[in-house]
Amino acid sequence: MDYTQRNPVPLPKVGATQSIRSTIDTVFDWKYALEKQKLLALYEKGKSQGWNATDLDWSVEVDVAKMAREAQIDVFMNSLMDPPQKFTLDSAIEFRLHMNAFMLSQFLHGEQGALVATAKIVQTVPWEEAKFYAANQVADEARHVEVYHRYLTEKLGLSYEAHPSLVALLEDIVSDSRWDVTYLGMQIMVEGLALAAFGMMRLVMQSEPLIQDITSRIMLDESRHVAFGVMSLQDLYTKELSATELREREDFVISSAELLKERLLMSPVFERLGWDTSIWVPWMTNTPFQKGFRQMMFSKIVPNLKRLGLLTPRVREAFATMDILRFEHEKDSIEEPEVKPPEELVQMLMSYMAGRAEAE
């Protein structure tokens, strides 16, 4: 696909490429049993729901500053987010532009991680049905990388390098020799958080039709990807792991959640804007709206881990400390693919909108 890169994606400290050494067993399935009917049905669904980047209307003008100005973004952010320093219209627009660019950039980098990790799953998973679906997902991930890269470099014109915590998590996922840990890290943790983040992007960019189209299409793909992980791991984790093996997966889940949480604080945004991180990062950490936003990111991870038997006392204790255990009673990705925002976040938005309506 031919498009203009107005602003190439910044490189991380490691440079243009990064090599991660890993030792894995490549598994051939000579039985071809094809007995896992739910996985085969998901594979068929993935094939039938395929789409192409050229299906999108790339002629749409993307002007985030104009949309933010028309929406009086400074009033919204000052009312709901209680910033340490009141936003002017210009500073609110600048922050919204950089925040969107940061989130979309991490989507791009995470999708490349998913591309690599899912290719690894094709090699390592022992069932032919899972190899079929993972191969289909590899094509999905390539398409996601393609559209996010084009959107960032041609339409938005602003982007960020991969966050160090995301890089560290992707290194852990790709380098681990155990096939199920690749599933756990990518399909359950990274893709689970991404699915919720896409829902938030769709919520905050309602007046931008191109990103709405991109996000809706990708969310359909990602909901299948997360379900693929849950289906593949459920019996293994609930019936087959030893106590030692289970503890190792608990450690991985806890460390992964910490890395994902760190990424959501958006320190690079404040650094690039030249704003004092000692003031603005605690704001991202403690303000009710921002806490609700971060909590929403784990709204599928927690119930999915519960279905897998990984919401153990150790994991529950860690998640309680992170204030995300509240989602344990929500529906998992098998029961309900869509992500719902936390009720208090919805109430904040509704109260704000009602107040605006009365003022007008």
Q: What is the domain-level CATH number for residue 315?
A: 1.10.620
Give how far Cα 229 sits from Cα of 20, 110, 148, 199, 341, Å.
23, 16, 23, 20, 22
Query: pTM of the prediction?
Result: 0.92
Q: Establish if 300 belongs to a structural domain.
A: yes
Task: For residue 311, give the DSSP letter.
Answer: -
pLDDT in tens, 304-333: 999 999 999 999 999 999 989 989 998 888
Q: pLDDT value at position 285?
A: 85
Q: Is residue 328 part of a domain?
A: yes
Residue predicted with more confidence, 300 or 290: 300
Q: How far apart are CA 218 and CA 284, in angstroms?
A: 27
| Residue 15 confidence class, pLDDT cut points 50, 70, 90 | confident
- Per-residue pLDDT at 348: 66
Over the chain, what is the mean pLDDT? 90
Give the structural domain span for 287: 61-359
Listed residue (210, 225, 208) closest to 117, CA to CA: 225
User: Is residue 121 domain-resident?
Assistant: yes
* pLDDT score of 224 more than 90: yes
Q: What is the pLDDT of residue 191?
A: 94
Position 356 scores a pLDDT of 61
**Number of domains, the chain:** 1
Q: Which pLDDT belongs to residue 85?
A: 93
Please name the residues in contact with 43: beta carbons below 8 A apart, sequence gap of 6 or more. Answer: 129, 132, 133, 136
Within-domain flag for 146: yes
Does residue 53 form part of some domain? Answer: no
Characterize 100-138 residue by residue with b for buried, 16 or more Cβ atoms within 10 angstroms of its Cβ, and e for exposed: bbbbbbbbbbbbbbbbbbbbbbbebbebbbbbbbbebbb
Mean pLDDT of 265-293: 89
Residue 303 CB partners (closer than 8 Å, separation 6+): 327, 328, 329, 330, 331, 332, 333
Q: CB of 82 within 8 A of CB of 279?
A: no
For residue 52, what pLDDT is reported? 94
Distance (Å, whole) CA 47 – CA 58: 24
Report which DSSP code applies to 323. Answer: T
Q: Which residues contact 194 (CB under 8 A, 6 or more apart)?
A: 107, 110, 222
Are the CB atoms for 173 and 185 separated by under 8 Å? yes
**Average pLDDT for 279-287:** 88
Which pLDDT tens digit goes with each residue over 98-153? 999 999 999 999 999 999 999 999 999 999 999 999 999 999 999 999 999 999 99
Report the C-alpha gap between 125 and 120 in whole angstroms.
8
280 vs 219: CA distance, rounded Å: 30
8 falls within a domain: no
Q: What is the 3-state secondary structure (H, E, C) of 201-266?
A: HHHHCCCCHHHHHHHHHHHHHHHHHHHHHHHHHHHHHHHHCCHHHHHHHHHHHHHHHHHHHHHCCC
Task: Quote the Cα angle for 322-324-326, to 5°.
Answer: 140
Question: Does residue 80 sit within a domain?
Answer: yes
Query: Mean per-residue pLDDT for 16-41?
Result: 90
In single-letter form, the type of residue at position 225 comes to H
Confidence (pLDDT) at 306? 96
Residue 43 lies in a domain: no
Distance CA 224, CA 302 (A): 17
- Per-residue pLDDT at 345: 67
